[in-house]
Amino acid sequence: MMNRKKFILDTLALVGVAALPSAVFAAPKRRYHVAVIDLMILKRQKLSAFDLAKEIGADGLEVDMGGLGNRVTFDSKLGDPAERKAFLDKAKETGITICSLAMTGFYAQSFATRPTYQQMVGDCLDTCQKMGVKVAFLPLGVTCDLVKYPELRPAIVERLRVVGEMAKKAGVVIGIETALDAKGEVGLLKEVGSKHIQIYFNFSNPLKEGRDLIQELTILGKKRICQIHCTDEDGVWLENNKRLNMPLVKQTLDRMGWHGWLVIERSRDANLPPRAVKENFGANTRYVKQLFQ
């Protein structure tokens, strides 16, 4: 890996091209990589999240863009070049890849109605570019639930087309999470019509609605899924989850030819204290890596 990195850097120097961020080189050469989320390990936009992710045993980290609330954009320290450098240096030091940037502020805030949505998403995309991150997570949260509020669909489609063009220019894929089933998501993606808008799939969504997880994955197919939240609702660890057949999930993803990041979000043991981060995410990371790697 280091020889390849040195060759690329030497070549870039010869032709006068600036070096790429170190996070670009950090991902291990595997079909499946396993990450955790800085927000969920209680380290939102903190450098110590990298050390904790390494201690947990993860390959990567999904970094959150910060709170949104009533601001015009995210409360993110990553707009500061010095802070970005510190994060990239820490990624290099620990060997933890920044697999994606997350706009979790949209879980509670409306992507369909916020007037400065282009600035919000634009700031995330700009940060992705400057940090060498290729996926941005955009949840269509409770206020943009297309099952409960189908009347929001035209506005959401229009805005996804806009940010899809922005993502194309940035060389980034925006992964959306919706309340729709797989057929509904296929229809939504077709309506948006951008390869830079894909699905950030969450195992928990079909499971809690009683839908067939394997069928949902198959309907979407590998080209529509950019990244996966490899998780269920809290209650038990993934290895003890009776409604999530993870070996069958792996067989399905193998058959589909999908590869990429499995990002652990929840699946915390209800019998442990809420701050038992190492225990919960360590157990889930070990299990997913044993199965997928």
DSSP string, 201-231: EETHHHHHTT--HHHHHHHH-GGGEEEEE--
| H-only helix segments in 137-276 | 153-170, 182-192, 204-208, 213-220, 246-256
Give the CA dihedral 170, 172, 173, 179, nearest 10 degrees: -80
The full set of domains in the chain, from first to last, is 24-292 (3.20.20.150)
Residue 130 buriedness (CB in 10 A; 0-12 / 13-18 / 19+)? middle
Here the tokens at position 248 are 């069958």
pLDDT of the chain, 293 residues: tens digit per residue? 445 555 444 544 443 434 445 444 444 478 999 999 999 999 999 999 999 999 999 999 999 999 999 999 999 999 999 999 999 999 999 999 999 999 999 999 999 999 999 999 999 999 999 999 999 999 999 999 999 999 999 999 999 999 999 999 999 999 999 999 999 999 999 999 999 999 999 999 999 999 999 999 999 999 999 999 999 999 999 999 999 999 999 999 999 999 999 999 999 999 999 899 999 999 999 999 999 99
> By three-state DSSP, how is residue 192 classified?
helix
Between strands 260-264 and 225-229, the pairing is parallel
The pLDDT, as a whole number, for residue 101 is 98
Contact 29, 4 (CB under 8 A): no
Contact 127, 79 (CB under 8 A): yes
Greatest pairwise CA separation for the chain in angstroms: 57
- List, in sequence order, every beta strand (DSSP E) within the chain: 32-37, 60-64, 97-102, 135-139, 173-177, 197-202, 225-229, 260-264
What is this structure's pTM?
Answer: 0.89
The pLDDT, as a whole number, for residue 274 is 86
In whole angstroms, what is the distance from residue 110 CA to residue 98 CA? Answer: 26
The pLDDT, as a whole number, for residue 13 is 46
DSSP 114: -
In whole angstroms, what is the distance from residue 88 CA to residue 83 CA? Answer: 9
The pLDDT, as a whole number, for residue 198 is 98
In whole angstroms, what is the distance from residue 35 CA to residue 19 CA? Answer: 25
The pLDDT, as a whole number, for residue 30 is 85
Contact 241, 206 (CB under 8 A): no
